[in-house]
Structures are given as structure tokens and as C-alpha cells.
Amino acid sequence: MNNKLILIVEDEEDILELLEYTLQKEGYETIGFLTVDKNVRNVLNEEHIDLILMDRNLPGIEGTTFINEIKQQGYSNPVIYVTAKDKDEDIIDGFDSHADDYITKPFNMKELCARIKAVIKRTSKDIDILKVKDIVYKASNKKFYIEEKEIDLTHLEHDLLLEFIKNKDILMTREHLLNSVWQDSFDKKEKTVNVAIKRLKAKIDPKGNKEYIRSIRGEGYIFC
């Protein structure tokens, strides 16, 4: 399995089904949409998307318009346009609109798979931004932001929040957190985890109304 998640936006249902079927056979996970709506943005916020396959002729919006919008908002997911727009100026416009590759219809499925593999391989180490809900992590400067404001974290709190974000929706025991975040520290006690998480919650959710981190009695914590 590739364990890579591909977001596909394609307004022709038969092509969307073919893309999903073929890519899943290749070992990828896929999430498909027939148009751009709030659900697409929700997926970008909630999932780690390794690649976006984007049609350009979509109901209500041009694919490049949407990609330009999300890039301006800080999303760094690689993009391949798969589109019938095949004029030279269309292709140039696509690359000017953040394309990592540009494939015109009709296309050869084997070639598409090869290009997808190449783009993911080339860009998998270059994704600089992780975004979960309204928390943004920039790997380039190792800082977290909420609503574009930097969160002032200690080194330990930074490592703790990063561990939570990388394991979104996964129950993590205090023992796991001690081993992965505190590692060889002398201060490896379960009470230490509780105190650190309380301080982290106060910094990322001072009003206490967002519930990023849920405590599961007797088991551990979930970031959701």
C-alpha cells in the first residue's frame, strides 16, 4: 500500500469513478468530489492530503481559481490539473497557478499513474505546512499559528502539540506520550503529562470552547 491520500475534484462522474477505482487498485486512498464546495475545504482541514487532482472546468468555479485561493491561505499540497483545457496558453496558465504537473484529456491511465507517483515522490518531503482545524504548523520555522497569530510554546509544548497533530483522532496513552515526547527525560511521570497538557490547552484554547484535546478517563488523550 502507498498509504497516500489523493483528493480528486472531477465533474464528470464516470471519470471520477474511473480515477478512484484505478488509484485505489494502485494502493492509494482517494476522496472524490464532483465540484468544489465546503466539503472539499473540510477535507483539506481535517485530512493529510498528499496530492490534489483538479479538473478546471467545474460548476461555478474554475479549478485554478480554487487552487490559487487555497495556496494564498497557506495550503502547500501538490497539485496536478487533469483537464480538457489543452491550448498552450491553458497549460502555461496552469503552471502559473501552482501546477506540479498538467495532464490533458483524454489521457492514458498508466501515464497518469506514473506522473502521480513522480509528483508525490518529488513533493512528499517538501510539504511545509500542516493544518488541522484552525491550527497551522510551519515546519520551516517550527512554529504553530492560530488565525495567523503565533502560539508561544515551550520546546516541550511544541513537541507535544506536534505529536497530537500527527496522530489526529488516535487515542494516545500517557505512556505513549511519555515515550514519544519526553523520551529520555528524567521527569517521566504520568502526572507530568497531565500538567503539560493542561498548560498546552490554556495556550491553544484560552476560552476553553474549542476542545482540541479530549481526555478519555483511564485511557489517555485524543486530538480531534
Each residue of 94-149: pLDDT tens digit?
Answer: 999 999 999 999 999 999 999 999 999 888 765 567 788 889 888 777 889 998 88
pLDDT for the residue numbered 108:
94
Q: Each residue of 61-74: b (16+ CB within 10 Å) or e?
A: ebbbebbeebeeee
Give the per-residue pLDDT at 1.
45
Report the CATH number that the domain containing residue 192 is assigned in CATH: 1.10.10.10
Q: Measured at the alpha carbon of residue 133, what is the angle toward residues 139 and 35, in degrees to the nearest 5? A: 105
CA Rg, the chain, in Å? 20
Q: What's the grid cell of residue 36?
A: 468544489
Residues 93 and 188 placed together within one structural domain of the fold: no
Cell 497530537, residue located:
164
Instruction: Count how many domains the chain has.
Output: 2
φ, ψ at 19 (rounded to 5°): -60, -45
Residue range 54-85, pLDDT digits in tens: 999 999 899 999 999 988 887 889 999 999 99
- Residue found by looking up cell 483537464 in the block: 83
Q: Are residues 25 and 106 in the same domain?
A: yes
Residue 209 class from Cβ within 10 Å (0-12 exposed, 13-18 middle, 19+ buried)?
exposed
Same domain, 11 and 111: yes
pLDDT at 183 over 80: no
CA 187, 189, 190: angle at the middle one, nearest 5?
145
Strands 149-150 and 143-146: antiparallel
Q: Which pTM does this prediction carry?
A: 0.60
Residue 29 sits in a domain of what CATH number? 3.40.50.2300
Asked if residue 17 and residue 115 are part of one domain, the reply reads yes
199 with 115, same domain? no
pLDDT at residue 128, rounded to an integer:
66
Least Cα distance to 93 among 65, 126, 60 occurs for 65
Residue-level pLDDT at 127: 56
Calpha distance 187→16 (Å, rounded): 52
Last residue of one domain, picked from the residues 88, 123, 158: 123
Which of 123, 147, 176 is at the close of a domain?
A: 123
- Spatial distance between the Cα atoms of 221 and 2, rounded to a whole number of angstroms: 28
Q: Which of 63, 94, 123 is the last residue of a domain?
A: 123
- Domain contains 128: no
In a domain, 150, yes or no: yes
- Retrieve residue 151's grid coordinates: 502560539
**Does residue 152 sit in the same domain as residue 115?**
no
Domain that holds residue 199: 133-223
Angle at 180 between CA 141 and CA 46, to 5 degrees: 60
